[in-house]
Amino acid sequence: MPHKKMLTSGATPQEVARDLAPLVTFQEAGMAWADVETLLHERLLPHLMQYGSPTFQSMFNALPEEGARRGAEMALAWNQGVTNWQVSPGGAMLEELCGRALCRLFGLPPTADATFMYSGTYANQEAIYLALHWFAEQQGVNLAHGGVAAFPQPDKLRLLVSKDAHFSVKQAVRMLGLGEQCLQLLPVDRNRRVDVAATRALVAELQPAHPVFCIVATSGTTSTGSVDPIAPLGELAREVGAWLHVDGAYGFAYKLVPEWAHLFAGDELADSISWDPHKQMGIPIPNSLLFVQRGDDFGRMTLHSGYFNRAEDVEPNPGLKSPPTTRPFSALPLVTSMLTLGLAQLREQLRSPLLAVRELAAYLQTQPDVELWHQPDTGIICFRVVPKGVKTAVLNKLQRWLYEKTMQGGERSVSLTTLDGEVVLRLVVVVPTHVTHLIETVTSLQEMARDFGQD
């Protein structure tokens, strides 16, 4: 019988904690590196997830691409902070040049600019701050000085976003002091994209009592990978005087694949766009960017000090565009990866998971015991296993049971999400793969479902 290759240990949290305890039992005397390395191999590595395995089909993680890994090693060896010119002339300049080159690569306007961020969450939060700051200026309000309280009726402000949007949008309005009451969740169509007609009707009801300061279009939702229609949402934003932010943390990379580029039509209307190269491009974490259509918009983040980032400085200072005053050299591994791969190979690597998931969708439609929950836009697909004879009332329980059994097995990974109150299984593919690997997972789930007890 062939040896089963484990994706992870399948251990419980208690078992993992027990194994890792010696790693945090710090002693007065130091250990030889060889002993530390042995301890790590025995205690830690078995519990790490094998992102490079074709059976890892649950999240947005990937092993470092070779060129990116080498660039990251160089960045680590030099340990450059790239906040400003005084700290690292080469690091600061490379970040600036890389951001502008990416603007050109994605076909953004000549006025566009970019800054590197720690994650898509932080990029979304900064974008919503910029949106609120910009809107305040239109209303004659000084947000930087007076805060949200400077608005005549801050509780009336509204941000429009898909009900499937990433939770970082909710975090942003909390942190800005607007509260969740600010969020107006938008309905979606059968493929989980924002329903534009319903959104227009909603805006007509809101205005003018509840002014809309920002509309967020998600280009690759976390649950289903669906791409909201950017162009009509951008047109709506212009009509009501709102900022358009595109959360492209997961999906925006796929604009580089010609057959998928049409999904991102209208991104030239976006005032800001977030993107995470550390997802499907295999760039070491953290590696995220925030683009703005007008470079001057970053000025709303700018704070000067007496010792660096001075107002009179003429050199490039990336730290003027976003909050971190200590920031890693994130541009370097992205640059080295793209240089070694080349754009042609990069497009092929991005195309592979999209094709595999599209083929899987066609396959699932032939399976009588599987419900496909949407036609996938990108590399995520949601479905339910619905064996004959299983009562509808316990289908949610079945999906959770299948997920738990799969994860406990340690050979492959899947994930769960909830759509319209129903629990569905979810596969995510961010690295080159073949549809057969995905079909094997579905077959495994179908076979396990036969052993499910409905009591």
Instruction: List the CATH number of the domain containing 386.
Output: 3.90.1150.170
Give the SS3 label for residue 61: coil
Q: Residue 333: pLDDT above 80? A: yes
Do 213 and 273 fall within a single domain?
Answer: yes
* Domain final residue, candidates 341, 360, 387: 341
CA atoms of 126 and 96, how far apart (whole Å): 18
Segment among 6-10, 19-23, 349-353, 379-383 with least mean pLDDT: 6-10
Tokens describing residue 309: 């980032």
Of 326, 341, 356, the last residue of a domain is 341
Instruction: Count Cβ atoms within 10 A of the Cβ of residue 294 and give its class: 0-12 exposed, 13-18 middle, 19 or more buried.
Output: middle
Confidence of residue 138 (pLDDT cuts 50, 70, 90): very high
Question: Among 341, 372, 393, which residue terminates a domain?
Answer: 341
In 3-state terms, the chain is what percent helix, strand and coil (to 5)?
45, 15, 40
Q: Is 150 within 8 Å of 142 (Cβ atoms)?
A: yes
Asked if pLDDT for residue 311 goes beyond 90, the answer is no
Q: Are residues 431 and 329 in the same domain?
A: no
Q: What is the average per-residue pLDDT within 97-108?
A: 97
| Average pLDDT value for residue range 220-236 | 97
Query: Domain check: are 290 and 365 in the same one?
Result: no
Helices 343-364 and 331-341: angle between axes, nearest 10 degrees: 90
pLDDT tier for residue 40 given thresholds of 50, 70 and 90: very high
Predicted pLDDT of residue 1: 39
Running DSSP on this structure, what letter comes out for residue 3?
P
Whether cis (ω within 30° of 0) applies to the bond prior to 89 is no
Q: Does residue 455 have a pLDDT over 60?
A: no
pLDDT at 160: 98
Helices (H), 139-179: 143-146, 168-175
Q: What is the mean pLDDT of residues 103-120?
A: 96
Q: Is residue 50 part of a domain?
A: no
Check: CB of residue 438 under 8 Å from CB of residue 287: no
Instruction: Tell me the residue range of the domain where 406 lies.
Output: 343-449
The pLDDT of residue 365 is: 97
User: Which strands sit side by side in the sheet containing 113-117, from one edge to the other?
Assistant: 113-117, 288-292, 272-275, 243-247, 212-218, 158-162, 183-186
One domain for residues 130 and 161: yes
Distance CA 114, CA 97 (A): 9
Number of domains within the chain = 2
Please calculate the CA angle 88-93-95 and round it to the nearest 5 degrees: 100
Rounded to an integer, what distance in angstroms lies between the CA atom of residue 414 and that of residue 56? Answer: 7
Tell me, what CATH number does 315's domain have? Answer: 3.40.640.10
Mean of per-residue pLDDT scores for the chain: 94
Clarify whether residues 405 and 336 are in a common domain.
no
pLDDT for the residue 169: 95
In which element (H, E) is residue 384 found?
A: strand 380-385
Residues 321 and 353 in one domain: no
Would you say residue 246 lies in a domain?
yes
Q: Are 76 and 148 contained in the same domain?
A: yes
Asked, for residue 28, whether it belongs to a domain, the answer is no
Q: Is 194 helix (H, G, I), strand (E, B) or coil?
A: strand
Q: Which of 104-108, 259-263, 311-315 has the lowest mean pLDDT?
A: 311-315
On the question of pLDDT at 277 being above 90, the answer is: yes
Judging by beta carbons within 10 Å of its beta carbon (0-12, 13-18, 19+), is residue 330 exposed, middle or buried?
A: buried
325 has pLDDT over 80: no
Residue type at position 71:
G
Same domain, 114 and 142: yes
* DSSP conformation letters of 283-351: PPSS-EEEEESSGGGGGGG----SSSS-TT--S--GGGSSS-SS---THHHHHHHHHHH-HHHHHHHHH
pLDDT digits (tens, 9 = 90+) for 48-60: 999 989 999 999 9
Percent of the chain with pLDDT over 90: 87
The whole-angstrom separation of Cα 266 and Cα 275 is 16
Provide the pLDDT for residue 433.
94
Residues 142 and 193 in one domain: yes
Instruction: Check residue 306 and give its pLDDT.
Output: 82
Pair (265, 314) in one structural domain: yes
Q: What is the mean pLDDT of residues 19-28?
A: 95
At 4 the pLDDT is: 62
Most confident of 79-88, 394-403, 444-453: 394-403
- Strand, coil or helix: what is 378? coil
CA angle 417, 422, 423 (to 5 degrees): 40
Residue 239 domain-assigned? yes
Q: Give, for 185, the enclosing helix (H) or strand (E).
A: strand 183-186
pLDDT (mean) for 68-95? 94
212-218 vs 415-419, strand pairing mode = unpaired
In a domain, 30, yes or no: no
Would residue 32 count as lying in a domain? no
In a domain, 270, yes or no: yes
Task: Decide which of 141 and 454 is more confident.
Answer: 141
- Asked whether residue 39 is domain-assigned, the answer is no
pTM surpassing 0.85?
yes
Residue 324: pLDDT over 80? no
Give the amino acid at 448.
M
Residue 454's pLDDT is what?
63
Say if residue 211 is in the same domain as residue 353: no
What pLDDT shows up at residue 431? 92
Q: Are residues 243 and 122 in the same domain?
A: yes
